Every structure is written in C-alpha cells, then in structure tokens.
Structure 1
Amino acid sequence: MGNCAYCRKGWTKAQSWLPDSKSAETMDIKLICNTEAEESKTGDSSFNLHNRRTKIRNLQKISTHHDITEAANAIISEKAKDREEKDKIRTVLNSIFIFNTLSVENIEETITKLKYYELEPSQMVYAQGSSGTHFFIVAEGKLEILVNGEFKGFLNKSDAFGEAALIQETPRSHSVFTTTKTMLWGISRTDFRSIVEFMSAKKYMENKSFVDSVPLFQILTPAQKDGLLAVISIQVFEPGLKIVTQGEEGDLFYIIKDGTVSCVVDGKVIRHMSRGDYFGEQALLYNSKRTATIISLSRVSVLNIKRDDLTNVLGNQLELIIYKNSQRIAIENSHYLKVLTKSQIELMINHTCYRGYKNREVVIPRGTQKGEKLLIIVKGSLITSKTGKKVPCLSCIGDQELLLPPAGIYEENYIANGPVDIEEITREYFERCIGGQLNKISSQNEVLNIMKKTQLFRALPNNKLEQMVNALYIQNYGDKEVIFYENSCGDAFYIVKEGQVDIVKDNATLRTITNNDYFGERSILGNEKRTANAIANGPVQVWVLSKEDFLLIIDEGIRGQLIKRMYLQDNTISLADLVPVKLLGKGTFGNVFLTVHKKSQIPYALKTVSRAKIRAYEIYNNLILERNILLQIDHPFIMKLVKTFKDRDRIYYLTEFVRGNDLFDVINDLRIMNDKNARFYAGCLLIILEHLHERNIIYRDLKPENIMIDEDGYPKLIDFGTAKIVDGRTYSIIGTPHYMSPEVIKGGGYGLSADLWCLGVIIYEVICGRMPFGDEEDEPFTIYEKILKNKLSFPPFIEHKAKSKFIIEKLLNKNPALRGEIDWLKTHIWFEGLNWDKLLGKQEIAPYIPKLNSLSFEITRAFKINSQLYKMIAKEEIIDSHDIPKFGKRSPSGWDDAF
C-alpha cells in the first residue's frame, strides 16, 4: 500500500516539454517508486481501475532521447505551392480533426509554412518509440508502416501521418519508411504551435479591445468579459448587403471590427457607423424588434453575440448584471463601505430596491432625515439645487451617515441631472445584511482581514475567524511598558491597532511590530514559553485574544492542524539539521528523500535537483516558477513548501511530508462512490481551486494521482510541476490526456476554467466508474479526438434528473465560458447541505481514512546509523548520471539567487 505522496510506478504526465525545452513552461518532477511497493488493486469491481492506471501511464511515457531527427536524410526546401497544390493540402487538412477546430487564418498560415521533404527509397521517416516532432502529407511516392517490425500498410499520395505530434510530444506508435522516391509536405510541432498561438493571441487581443471599448460592456468584470470573448463570432458582409432589417425579430448584437455601415430608419439614412461602433443592443437586452436597417457600405467585418450565448455566460438579465456590477464598483469607491466583506456586499446588493427618475425630478427632497437610507447611483448623476454640487455615477449618498445614529437633514434638494437610476436600501435592511451597525462591523472586518493574512490562522474557516474576532478586546499600554516578558507563559495573541511594539532579546531589538501586525500567536497553541520581551515603543493600543478564549473557540482537531502548520513555517531549518531516512522516489529531473529534523524529529520531504541535470535540460525557469508558485500557497489541502536551499551541486526544496494514499487508490477501495462521498472530495477540490485561482495560478494537471488522501482522510494536492501563474491566457498543451480540456488540446489559448474541466472529469469518474471520453483508448491522439468530437453521455444507472449529472454537464461544457465561476459552483444544487467552513476546518467526517504504517522504526534506525545526507543524495545521483544528456549550455548568471 502506498504510504506517501512520492511513490509512483511510472510516468503520470503527458506534456509538451522536450525537445522544445527553451520554451517550456513546466518541469516533470513526477516520481518513480523504488521503495515500499504500491500494491496492485484490481479488486472485483465492474471497472478495472488498476488496468486503467497502467494504461494511462503507458500511453503517457515520453522519451528523453532527442538526438534522432525525423526525416533525417531528407533534402528540405521552401518549395512554392501553386493554387492547385494549396487546394489539395487544404482538402487533406480539413479531413483531420485537429484542423477542424482552427480558424481559416490558422489553416492558411499552416499551408504557407509547410516545407518540402525529398527522400530516396528505403529511408526512415521516423522510428517506433521515438518522440514525435513532425506532421507530414505525402506529395508524391509511397511509404510503409511497421509496428514491432510487422508490415501494417502503405501510405500513398495525399495521405497524412504523424499528426499526433502537433498536439503533444508522445512516442511514435509505429515506424514509417519510404518504399519509392518520396516527396512530403511537413511541419514541426514548434512551427505549428507558434502559428496557432500567434494567430489566436492576436485574435483574442483584438476582440478583447473591442469588448473593452463598448460602453455597454465596460461595467462587466474581467471574468465576465472573458466569458463574452468565448462566445463571440465573426461575420463578413460584402458591400450593399443588409445586415439587419428594421421591424424584424433579432437576437444578435453586433460590433463593427472593420468597414462602414449606414443606419436607415423608415428609408432615411440617419448616420454612418464604422470601426468600434455597435448596433442591435436593444434586441440583446429586451428581445425587441429591430428599430433600424443596417446596410454595409464597404466590406464589413463584425463581431456578433447571440442572446442565448449571452444568457448562458451572464444570466438572464444583462441589465440587472450591469446594475449589480455598478453597485459593487460604487461600494468599492466608498471610503466607508469598502471595508465590507464580499458576502456582506452581495447580501446587501440583493436587498436593494430600484428607483428610476426623469430629468429634473427630485431624488432627495430638502428636509429628508439623513442616515435612514443608502442610495447608490448606477446610471446618470445628481445635482444639488442650491450649491450646484454634482454627485457622479457610481457613487453613494448616505454612506458616511450610516456610521452614526440618524442626525440632521439634507439642506437642499438632490435633483436628477438627466435620466437617473438609483438602487437604495433602508438603514434597517442594510444593518441586517451586514450583521450590525456599520462602525462596529467595519472595525471587526478590519481585524478579520488581518487575521486572514496571519500565516497561522488564514486557513481557518470563516466562522471560527469571526468568533475569534468577536472575542478580541482592546488593551492600552504606555511608552516602555512591558506587554510580556521572555520565558513567561504565553496567554494571549496580539494585533497592533495603533503604535509600535519592540520585540527585544538580550537588550537587542529583534524587530518592531507596527499597525496591523501581530505577535504572540505561537504561544497560545501550545505550552511554549515566550522567546523574547514585547515592549511598547510609545503609546500602544492592541487587540488581544486570550488563550482561554482561543481554546474555547478552536477545538482539539483544528488546534492539532494549526500546530502542524506552525512547524511547517520554521524558516530557520538548515540542511545540517536534517537526518536522511530513505529515498522516497525518483523523477526525470530529481530525487525525493524522507528526512527528519534532528531536534524536533518532525519528518520532511527533501526534493533535490542536481545542477548537472539543470544544465543538461535547461530547466532554470521551471525551477524558479515552481518555487514562486509554492511560496504563494499556504493551504491545509495543499502540500506546503517550507524552504529552499542551494549549494554548488544542486537545488533543494524542503516540503511538508504527506502520507496517505492517492485518490486513485481511494476510488478503487470505495468502488463507485455515492453522491455524499463524491460531494466531499469534489467540495475539497473546489476549495483548492478557489485558493489557486484567487492567486491566478492554474494547476493544469488535476487528476486522482496528484491528489493524496492524508492521514485525516482529506485531500492534499501535490506536484506543482505543471502549474503556472497566468494573466489572461496561456497556450502550452500540458496535462494528462483523459483529463485535458478541449481548449487545451486545441492550443488556441486557455485560462483558469481548464481546471474546472479536470474537476468535472474527476466527478464523472468517481460517480460513473469510467472516464467521460476515451475510456477504452490507449492512444493519446484518439483520446483527444473523442474529447473534441464526442458528446457527453452517462451510464444507464445515472438517473436522468440526478443532481450530480447537472454539475458534471456544467463542468464538462466544451465552451470554457459556460462552466461557471467557483463562487457560483459552490451554490450549485448538488452541493446543497455541504458546510464549506466545516470542510475547510476538517470538521466533516471523511469517507475514507488511509491505513498507514508507522515510521518510528525507520526514523530510529536513521538516527542510529547517522548517515550523511550529502552522501545519500550523491549515491543516487551517481546511479542516475548515465541518463543525463551530454548537452546543455552554461548556466545563466544569477538564475538561482532566490534559492
């Protein structure tokens, strides 16, 4: 039985890494088990999960031998293609599913980039087992296909082969040899992916700039705009054509990308419109008939959006969404309201009432009592009757007055300056929504935000944090007054509200704590003595949480979790403090060892990457990226990076040691899961993705093998070799075939929602007992084809109206914009009854607790043997040294400064 996160039987990742290593975004550090054997678990279930795991791993194996060039003996030229030749090539490309998903521009550019290969008879194009790098079309001649040395068929004129290499680097499943003099059209994966990425990025940015320029959409959030971009289509109209006709029903909204149109009402030309102008918004908003005829005056290119697509992305009422977004912006603009939490704001917005006013209509009459109502201007502006003071759109009236009891009156009328739309809420409902009076809630929220930033407490459930905030009290100290003494028992945790506190040891100031900083948190968890004096530097006001109150709020289980997290924040550890226990696993680029701290005897995992391999594979940026991502993450469901080290021989990552079984083994043990168990794991994974996506981190390889079920029965995400920080879109085709989303396979750019597809695959897998696409397939290329072309279907035992079916259909929508956002998904009917705070606090009963072997014997033995860490690492690297390629440039100067 697997006992840790580092033991594996083979490769579990298929990714486009070598030979295009210079442009690589990730590194494969997945490990091969060579310690405690991971038992095969075939069981007697209706689906053989062990075979499935072996199959997936076999189809994902990648070659690290890249000294073989495809069509190595060919004479390659940039032969010109006439119209007839281009038509033939276009016909071939249109018959291959990869190209069916591409734009016309992408296909034409691909045809342009095809090179001409001339080969003599009996020449090898590529060998079975080698890493695929090229796609070919037979222009003239004949070739034969061999599998394990056996003849399987011929390739003739206009046949295409090798297309799998365009998606990802995978081993060739067959060999190809010429039988006659042969001419091929060919393109490398590097060139093809560059074309797709460049054209897709260009198109995306052009469309994005158009959406940003349309006033109707300017109020939308970035995520909402990105959803629109996914459903936008392009149409081209020749001169003199009617694009829309007055009086007809319409369901399309148009934005002019290029060209000029005339707007005709009742036969009269009202105006001309050109690039950046738009029309059809009334049909989009209100399902009304066209109020004008639009005629193209030149060749016109337009972006259009269907009302149904808009509804799927944004909901039923665009205007309502715009108004809600406007309220959010106005609240963020308010000095007094911006301290409210997201949930408080959303609850308040849902309880506001709409009021519309005509030009010059009085909105607030003179003499109205202040502080009884909050008004939010979502459209138009107001002007006062005497002073002429203008109150702009997206601002609040009455927000400051909510801090105090109602007092005073408005001295002049507030008048609509043109048509005005107002959202308003009474003081009573406002305070119900936020949970009390604004001044008190503001203070509590301020402290709550500080607590959420406190490294030790930020993973606590909101309800526990709120209870801790409510238990705080304020204490004042004078200049030089001692708050606590060194070696005293820790009985409180402190947050500085105003002033400064010096932490002093042996008459030396170690650090100074200022406003909103905290200290003393470690002592309230255990029985540790204070390690220094805390002395007021001038008058100081602090919030105080007593240890007694803390222990009443935090139960023993959560306290145990916090103590574990506390030890994982020890950045004073050095390599000399670690005793090696054993090798845990091996990967292409590094090894992982179990180590134990000499004093505390806490186990840690130590990942090592030799500088020889770093140079050979040029993975400098990959190591830096992985470190940067792991340093941003501190979550109980994610393996934590403790510290990194470096020396002249290698780079080191010291991480939390995760023990348990991976989710794959749990699926095997539990067989097909019931809804309750599946909901538990899916809910935990959604919480993990929420944490990552809030930091713009896309994981890209979410699957059961990368999810450990720890000793508490809760998921722990490991292996961040494929993760990336994204700003907008990324393009690398990375992941495991069965779990890859359509947009990743296409290579035209994708964002965070690709992870939601992976989650959908996992939910389908644990509930249905098989993969949604390509379950019986061995070839990655065939799996990709089924993901792109096949419709989602369910086994007969899944009820037609099952709630799980609805969320799976949502997550496995081939349009990423329609998968929803995490906030919305958490409210899905399938998750009804799931307590998210209890789940985060590990207070829900887990469906499965791994049975783990004790490490005490091995750790005791390690201390007796007292092996040297450096020697154990070097021994394993000597074994691996024959696999290191004899290439690689000199290391860039200063690349490892941060380690």
Structure 2
Amino acid sequence: MGCGSSIDVQDNKTTLLLNQASTAITDNDSIYLMKTDTKCPSLETEEIRYFVRILRANCLNFLTTTLMNHFIFYSLSDEVIMGIINKMFYCCLHSNTTLYPKECVASCFFILERGNLQYEGCPLQKGSTIGELSLLLRLEKQKNVKAIDDCFFWGLDKSTFLNSLDYIMAKQYLQNKQFITGQSFYQFLTPMQQDGLAQNIIVTKYRPNAIIAQEGERADSFIVIKSGQAAVYKGTKFIRYLQPRDCFGENSLQTTTKRNATIQAVSEVQCLVLTREKVKQILGNDVKKQLQFAVIRQILKQLKTPSLEIEKLLPSFRFHHYNNEIFDINELHDYLVIVVEGTMRSEDQMYHKGDLVSDVYDDQQFYCTGTLAKLDKVKLELEDYVIEDSTYEFKRVRPQFAELNNQKLIANSSYGTLYKVEYKNEKYVLRKISRDIISQWNLEKQIKQERKILEIINNPFVANFHQYYSDEQHIYFLQDYIKGKNLGDYLHDNGLLDKEKAQFLISQMILLLETFSNLSIISREFKPNNFIIDKNGYIYLIDFKTSKQAYRTHTIIGNPHYMAPEIIEGKGYTTFSDVWSVGVCLYEFLCGGVPFGEDQDDPYKVYEDILNYQIKYPQFYRDQVGKNLMNQLMSLNVYQRVGSSFDELKAHKWFNIFWDQLQHKQLKLNPKKQDSNLKRLNVEQKSSLQFL
C-alpha cells in the first residue's frame, strides 16, 4: 500500500488518515491519525503539520499536567516532558467503535483529550490514559474500550513510548549518580552498590517557603540539594544557606535519628532523596557494617589483595570503638589497622576515615575518636593466596567470505540457516539470515544490537564471534563451532546433577554473567537450551537474539519459566534479572524441573506462580548451604542476588572451585559420570516427589 492522505473535517476537528503499511500505528481502521512525521511531501501535509502545532500549543497545559501526574512520567523535568509531547500524534476514534476491535497486542499509549469513552462499561474522564500497562506487559488480551461518540486522543506509538521510558531512566540515573558521587559514604562502595543506590534515588520538588525537613521529626533519609536554594534554621535562628550539592541526613542512613534543624526552601528546590529502607535493601540490613566493609575493601585493593580473597577476609576483621582514647601503637606490629569511622591523631599526624594506619613511631601518642578495623597480619600472608588473573583473550579471525570452505548444513529454521564451514583447518559456524525475514519481522534493530554485543564480548563461555558478511539477499555471522550437546538435552538425558557437576556448570554461568554485567548487557537468554556442553563439561552460550546493551530496560521478553519477577511487573530491570535465571538453572540442576510453573504451559499461569513466590525444595535435597545460595540468586530483592560484587557471590560457602583455573579452562569434568545416588531420581520420577 502506498503513502496517501485525505482530509476529513468533523466538528471543527481535522484528522488525517495515514495509509502507511511500513509505519502502521494500529490495526483499527476506525482510528484516524494526525501525525507530523508523514513522508508525503504535499500541501496537505504542511497544512496538517501547522494545524497539529497549533493544536498541540492549545493543549500544552493539559498534556503537561496529565504527564506530570502520571505514575511513569511524574518525575520528569519540563524539558523532557516537552520532548515527549512533541513526539505525540493526534487521532480520533469514531463513535460506536472499539479501540481494540479484536484481541491484539497494544501498540500505543493514549491520553483522552475529549469524547465519551467507556472502559468495560465505565466512563473515562478527560485526561485518562490507556495502554501503558499493556505496552509494558505485552498483554495480548485487551479490555473492551468503546467510543460512545467521536473521541479524540493524543498518543505515543509503542517504540517511542518504550524508548522514552528507557531514556528517562538512563538520564535520571546518570544525573543522580553525578550528584551523589562526591558524598563520603558513597565513594567507598563497589560500583555495583553505587549503581544500585543511584537507581533508587527519589526526586522531590518544593515550592518557595515549603518545609523540606522539620527539626525534631524522625530522620530516615539522606537528602542532596539538586537545584535551588534552601535555608537552615535552628529553632527560629538562621544558620546558613544550602546550595546545589549540599546535603544533610547521612547519619540517618545507618540508624534512626531526629532532624536537628529545619530546612526550608528559599526558591523552588529540587532534591535527591535516598531513604534508609532503600539503602538497607541494596547494602543489607546492617548498613553500618556494610559501609565499614566498603572502606576496608578500598584499603585491601590498594595493598594488591586479590579481590576474591578480600571477600573471604572481611568476616575476620574486628571492630574497636574509641571515644577520645589512647591507641596502643604496639598493636601495629601484629595487626593491620584501618580507620573506618572518625579520626586518629597525634601532635603532628592525623588519620581520617579510609586511611591505613602506618608510619607510626614508638614515641608517638595517638588519640582515637571513632572506629578502627583490625586484622591479624598472619591472615594477610599473600603467598597463601592464589593470585588470580582473569584476563581472557581469544584470537578473532577475519576470513574473506570466499575463503570459507566445505560448507555443510547443520540446521534450518524460520529465523535462519546454520552451516558448518572451515577456514585454515579450523571449524566455524556460519549463520545465514534472509533480508526478507529481517524486513518482514522488523528485526533490523535486533540484528544491529546482536552484532554489537557479539563484537564486544570477550569470554570463554560463549560461541565467539569472528566476522560479519552481507550481500543483497542475506547477512551472515561467523562464530566458533562448538562440538557438543545442547545442555537442555543433556539434563533431560541425565536427570539430576550432583553438586560437583552443578557447581562446575553454574560457576561458568556466573563468570559469564560477570562479563555481561561489566558491559551492561542484559541477556534474557540464560536457560539450558541456549547452551552447548562439550566433552569436558564446559558450556557455551550460543543465542544472543534477545540480548540488549542497556543499564535498564522495560521490554517483557524471555522464557516465562526463567523470567525474574521485576520483568513481569513491568517496572524496569537490569542485569540482575539474569542472576535470577541462573538461580532457576541451579534449581533445575539439583532439584529437577523449575521452581515456578513447572506444570504450567500458559505464560500467565507461570507469571502468577513467580509473583506468588514460594520456593519449595524436594525432600531429598537437604543441603542448607545450597538452598541458601538458590534463595539468594532468586531473591525478590534484586540487589541481594549478587551482593556488593560478583566476588562476594563467588566467595559463597557453597562454592569450592578455583575460579581462575575455571576461567582459563584448566579444570576438567567428566559430564558423563553420574553419582550413583542420583541415578534413581530421573526426570520421570521427580514429579512424584514430595516437596518441603
């Protein structure tokens, strides 16, 4: 169908019918669209563009107010709100027609501008919004939304809506992180902890003379002035002004206190608020201890202590509190001493938070006010450590297409064709995808994202990418050829795995996840069927079709049984969602089946089971440490799935493996060998097992 347009004047409202097959907004022929981005160069188009600009200007206050009060867009700046409004189109739904005439996937977010519209028989008011939850959750079964008379809407198409959402989250995250970076408690945290805090900052706005904090009230949040000016009062006495980047309430993150002053907005003020509950969610319930550990990590890194060993040493530190008391410098002979709170001073020397106490002479006398962390130096003997070098490099080849020999068909699917090829006596896989399929399924963006990810990944547990080719009919990906078996088939044939095998496999997934996290890659592909296992027990991720490089995204995609709850809830998710999937895989290895929706095929039933969140373990599985690890990986608290870093996760008591040797594939496992105690617990039997 070609590009065409026609003007239809109704009740002084102009609507433009766009017939553009390649940029269709909806399948409903009763909706007339008025957009300003049509590619038809005509006078009508210019007139429509002018009309929509006038119409948008007249509706600006209405649209701004609606978006500012919306649960998704409420925290946006005026500038971002205006940018979204400029991307909106105007449309009409004729009387006695439904917005979704058949069961279909929602493709737009709508704001009702005027008209009599009913939702499941109930009238909707001007400013009502429609479709946002359907877009977030990708619902296929739409509710009955019917126009009683002609109804007019402002709308965003699906792509613009989701892109706006991702942009909003990314911009807020970067701004918030920039403002909080200079705070003392923040600078010692691991990058993963810093990211978690930055993602959970709340933006609040105050009008002139509004009270931001009241003297004597309970303090449970840390507040940074982002813009504007505020005044500090003690009683009625003015103390000073607060400017952008000034803050108050840091102590309230560790313990319950009361505000010791009143903070009042002088001008319009925007604040960044971090609540104690969010900090506890990210760092753990004992916030004070975690902040002390953060200081210790920094010092041990400066001492070149291997990162994995740092996590093992942390529980061995002892904390001693001083109230302007003399510190016995003889302790320095036997202990490593770090100032984690307060100060330690002599006549000519001062140590602050984050300092390693050293270069102290026997005739010096030090007074300490605060907390010192001490570690017996015997435990710091580095020669006892395995100094890990996790660097992995593979040699990428770049053959010309004509240099690929002995092409043999491996598999055929609707998405593409796989061939085994040879280059200089080495075997590779050539994946061929038709350009017609790419166009038909709108895969251009997905293909571009997949290629970008494959080019930056450097990890031993993927089918490494070597070269990209294209011609008029097809595109091609050249990757490593992995001789082995699909991991899903391997599990089906072998049933339950013993701890040794499960640990070997899941450790590789964690090392791969660590690489993905460092690159901000959200995989959504961590399930057994997407891995190949070779004869030595090493696994390789072979599917990257749904992978995405983003710090946060909202698209609901993936296998329902391995999907984290935050994906289903549509609130946005990060690489932590893949950690959940690895937890599901570990459960499947050790317990048989998946922990949620095992007997369900309906995705919505599986989603319901996941959101109900009840992890049950079979009676035969009694390893409490293993259960603890699975509960951690599948925690509803996304920040506790890994902890402060992947090194903390790898230091979990369940693991008994040399991570560096595993990274370099210096360990071997016989995947065919099976624990005799597990042979009777095969896939068919597990369904009759009782669960605890």
- TM-score (norm. length: structure 1): 0.55
1:668–1:196 CA distance, 2 compared to 1 (3 A): same
Counterpart for residue 584 of structure 1: 411
1:112-511 to structure 2, matched below 5 A, reads: 115-120=89-94, 132-136=106-110, 140=115, 166-167=135-136, 183-234=152-203, 239=209, 241=211, 243-246=213-216, 250-257=219-226, 260-264=230-234, 270-287=239-256, 289-290=257-258, 292-298=260-266, 302-333=271-302, 337-338=303-304, 340-347=305-312, 351=316, 376=338, 394=354, 396=356, 423=373, 425=375, 427-431=377-381, 434-435=382-383, 445=387, 449=389, 452-453=390-391, 455=393
Matches within 5 A, 1:478-557: none
2:32 aligned with 1:74, yes or no?
yes
Query: Is residue 378–residue 423 contact of structure 1 (8 Å, CA) maintained in 2?
Result: yes
In 2, the alpha carbon distance for the partners of 1:143 and 1:297 equals 43
Matching of residue 843 in structure 1 with residue 668 in structure 2: yes
Q: Indicate if the aligned counterparts of 2:419 and 2:430 stay in contact, CA closer than 8 A.
A: yes
Structure 1: how far apart are the matches of 2:346 and 2:649? Answer: 44
- In structure 2, what residue type is equivalent to 1:592? L
SS in 2 for 1:772: coil
Alpha-carbon distance between aligned partners in 2 of 1:583 and 1:801, rounded to the nearest angstrom: 41
1:260 shift after superposition: 1.9
Distance 1:596 1:422 in 2: 62
Distance 1:755 1:764 in 2: 14
Which residue is 2:650 aligned to? 826
> Residue 675 and residue 161 in structure 1: after superposition, are their counterparts in 2 closer, same or farther (change >3 A)?
farther
Does the 8 A contact of 2:118 with 2:124 survive in 1? no
Give percent identity, aligned residues only: 22
In the alignment, does 2:676 pair up with 1:708? no
Instruction: Show CA shifts across 1:289-312 (max 9, x none).
Output: 426243535566544444343233
> CA 1:303 to 1:768, structure 2 compared with 1: closer, same or farther past 3 Å?
farther
* Aligned counterparts of 2:124 and 2:334: Cα–Cα separation in 1: 82
After superposition, the Cα gap between the structure-2 partners of 1:198 and 1:571, relative to the gap in structure 1 and judged at 3 Å, is closer
Match of 1:757 in 2: 580
Residue 793 (str. 1) matches residue 618 (str. 2): no
Q: What SS does the aligned partner of 1:213 have?
A: coil
Listed as ranges, the gaps of 5+ residues in structure 2 are 1-20, 36-51, 675-692
Structure 2 SS opposite 1:206: helix
Distance in 2 of aligned mates of 1:323 and 1:715: 38
1:370-399: CA deviation from partner (whole Å, max 9, x where unpaired): 9876555556788897xx688887555669
The corresponding residue for 1:594 is 420
Does structure 2 retain, via aligned residues, the 8 Å contact 1:256–1:301? Answer: yes
Distance 2:285 2:543 in 1: 40
Report the residue type matching 2:258 in the other structure.
R
Count of residue correspondences: 616
Distance in 1, Cα, partners of 2:540 & 2:290: 36
Aligned to 1:644, the other structure's residue is in SS state strand
Contact 1:374–1:427 (CA under 8 A) maintained in structure 2: yes
Tell me: CA distance 1:383–1:776, structure 2 relative to 1, closer, same or farther (3 Å): closer
Letter matched to residue 758 of structure 1: S
- Distance, in Å, in 2 between the alignment partners of 1:706 and 1:605 is 15
DSSP-derived class of the 2:258 partner: coil
Cα displacement (A) at 1:594: 1.8
How many angstroms does 1:582 deviate by?
1.6
- Residue 513 of structure 2 is aligned with which of 689, 699, 702? 689
Determine the structure 1 residue equivalent to 2:432. Answer: 608
Partners of 1:612 and 1:844 in 2: how far apart? 44
Task: Report matched runs for 1:17-28 at 5 Å.
Answer: none
The one-character-per-residue Cα deviations of 1:504-551 (angstroms, maximum 9, x if unpaired) are xxxxxxxxxxxxxxxxxxxxxxxxxxxxxxxxxxxxxxxxxxxxxxxx
2:137/2:569 contact within 8 Å kept: no
Residue 27 of structure 1 corresponds to: none
SS at match of 1:167: helix
The answer to whether the Cα contact below 8 Å between 1:381 and 1:418 also exists between their aligned partners in 2 is yes
Task: Please say if residues 115 and 186 of structure 1, whose CA atoms lie closer than 8 Å, have aligned partners that are also in contact.
Answer: yes
Cα distance in 1 for partners of 2:601, 2:154 equals 29
SS in 1 for 2:612: coil
Of 539, 543, 553, the residue aligned with 1:731 is 553
AA of the residue aligned to 1:74: Y
Distance of aligned partners of 1:301 and 1:706 in 2 relative to their CA distance in 1, 3 Å threshold: same
Aligned-partner SS, 2:156:
strand
Q: Secondary structure at the match of 1:435?
A: helix
| Length-normalised TM-score, structure 2 | 0.68
Deviation at 1:620, TM superposition (A): 7.8
Q: Higher relative CO (CA 8 A, sep ≥ 6), structure 1 or 2?
A: 1
Alpha-carbon distance in 2 for matches of 1:426, 1:783: 51
**Structure 1 pair 291/130, CA: closer, same or farther in 2 (3 Å)?**
closer
Q: Report matched runs for 1:641-656 at 5 Å.
A: 641=465, 643-644=466-467, 646=469, 652-656=476-480
Looking at structure 2, the residues matched to 813 and 112 of structure 1 have their Cα atoms a distance apart, in angstroms, of 40
Take 2:284 and 2:129, find their aligned partners in 1: how far apart are those partners?
44
Deviations 1:847-873 (A, max 9, x none): 789xxxxxxxxxxxxxxxxxxxxxxxx
In 2 relative to 1, CA 324–85 (structure 1 residues): closer, same or farther, beyond 3 Å? closer
What does the per-residue CA deviation read over 1:343-388, in whole Å, with 9 as the maximum and x for residues that have no partner?
34445555555567788978759xx9x9876555556788897xx6
Instruction: Go from structure 1 to structure 2 and tell me whether the alpha carbon gap of 1:714 and 1:176 turns closer, same or farther (over 3 Å shift).
Output: farther
Q: CA deviation at 1:610?
A: 6.2
Quickly say closer, same or farther: Cα 1:710–1:762, change in 2 above 3 A.
same
Q: 1:181 to 1:295 in 2, by over 3 A?
A: closer
Q: CA deviation at 1:74?
A: 0.9
- Give the direction of change, closer, same or farther, for the CA distance of 1:193–1:622 in structure 2 (3 Å limit): closer
Confirm or deny: 8 A CA contact 2:281 2:637 kept in the other structure. Answer: no
- Structure 2 residue matching 1:820: 3-state secondary structure: coil
Would the aligned equivalents of 2:516 and 2:575 in 1 still touch at CA under 8 Å?
no
Tell me how far apart the structure 2 counterparts of residues 74 and 305 of structure 1 sit (CA, whole Å): 45
SS in 2 for 1:74: strand
d(CA) in 2 for partners of 1:748 and 1:274?
Answer: 33
For 1:166, give the aligned amino acid: L
Q: Which amino acid aligns with 1:594?
A: K
In 2, Cα distance between equivalents of 1:273 and 1:413: 44
What is the identity, as a one-letter code, of the residue corresponding to 2:230? T
The answer to whether the Cα contact below 8 Å between 1:244 and 1:290 also exists between their aligned partners in 2 is no
Deviations 1:682-713 (A, max 9, x none): 44422321243345443233233322344445
- Whether the 8 Å CA contact 2:536–2:670 is kept in 1: the answer is no
What amino acid sits opposite 1:607 in the alignment?
R
Change (3 A) 1:413 1:660: same
Q: Distance in 2 between matches of 1:118 and 1:569?
A: 55
8 Å contact kept, 1:722–1:734? no
Counterpart of 2:577 in 1: which secondary structure? helix
Matched residue of 1:843: which SS?
coil
SS at 2:181 equivalent:
helix
